[in-house]
Amino acid sequence: MKVLLLNGSANQKGNTFTALSEIAKQLEKNGTEAEIMQLSSKPVRGCIACGQCQAKQLGRCAFDDDVCNRIVEKLNASDGLVVGSPVYYGQPNGAVMAVLQRAFFSGANVQNKPAAAVAICRRGGASAAYQTLNLMFEMMNMPVVTSQYWNIAYGMVPGEVAQDSEGMQTMRTLADNMAWLLKKIHADGHTDYPEREAWQPMNFIR
């Protein structure tokens, strides 16, 4: 089993990376493969609602000039997802939100895959950013993996988050829970997902 950990920070070796690395090490201890993927320091597109991914059933975004479709490919090949982000103005990094919205909408295979959010901040706003990331998972039928506390850690300069002993313990507990849930889901080499009703969308203005 494999978990993709998406580093939603433009800083490749910053505090978000440090927290995700703690999760990755603990996943490996549990016999679960972990890959940390860097969002990229290059610009990413926001969705322009062109609808081509749906109309043509591409299974990916129609635009292939940034990291989005590489994320789709790695999501499709993974059994679980952890998204880490620094906190900007009480929200996740706008780039990681933009790219995940496109990846999920265009057809990434994420349903039934456990997911977790991680928010890293200097002082405040982490709980709001954490909640924002989780909203996407809940809409995609992804079981949300919890820990002993909200998946939050604190630090400012690169690597400082490692001094947050409770935060690092929270990351390790998150990894233990992710590995445990994956083992339960994939027990005996097969899955038994719930049968779901066909979606019945309803618009309030007709």
Domain membership of residue 199 (yes or no) is: no
* Residue of 170, 71, 54, 62 lying closest to 116 (CA atoms): 170
Q: How many domains does the chain have?
A: 1
Is-contact 98 21, C-beta < 8 A? Answer: no
Please state whether beta strands 152-154 and 2-7 pair in parallel, antiparallel, or not at all (unpaired): unpaired
Domain extent, residue 19, equals 2-189
Q: What is the pLDDT of residue 36?
A: 98
Cα distance between residue 28 and residue 117, in whole Å: 19
Domain membership of residue 198 (yes or no) is: no
SS3 at position 35: strand
Domain membership of residue 12 (yes or no) is: yes
Is-contact 150 174, C-beta < 8 A? Answer: no
Cα distance between residue 59 and residue 42, in whole Å: 23
Reported as a single tens digit per residue, the pLDDT across 25-66 is 999 999 999 999 999 788 999 999 999 999 999 999 999 999
Percent of residues, the chain, with pLDDT higher than 90: 90
Domain membership of residue 203 (yes or no) is: no
Higher-confidence residue of 20 and 40: namely 20
Cα distance between residue 13 and residue 11, in whole Å: 6
Reported as a single tens digit per residue, the pLDDT across 82-122 is 999 999 999 999 999 999 999 999 999 999 999 999 999 99
Percent of residues, the chain, with pLDDT higher than 70: 100
Cα distance between residue 40 and residue 180, in whole Å: 30
Please name every residue paired with 76 in a beta bridge, in sequence order, or none if there are none: none
CA angle, corner 82, sides to 72 and 106, nearest 5?
Answer: 25
DSSP 54-99: HHTT-SS-S--SSSHHHHHHHHHT-SEEEEEEEEETTEE-HHHHHH
* Residue of 149, 189, 188 lying closest to 166 (CA atoms): 149
Domain membership of residue 197 (yes or no) is: no
Return the CATH number at 166.
3.40.50.360
CA 85, 88, 92, 94 torsion-angle sign = negative
Domain membership of residue 50 (yes or no) is: yes
**Residue 151 has what DSSP assignment?**
S
Domain membership of residue 200 (yes or no) is: no
Domain membership of residue 69 (yes or no) is: yes
pTM reported for the whole predicted model: 0.96
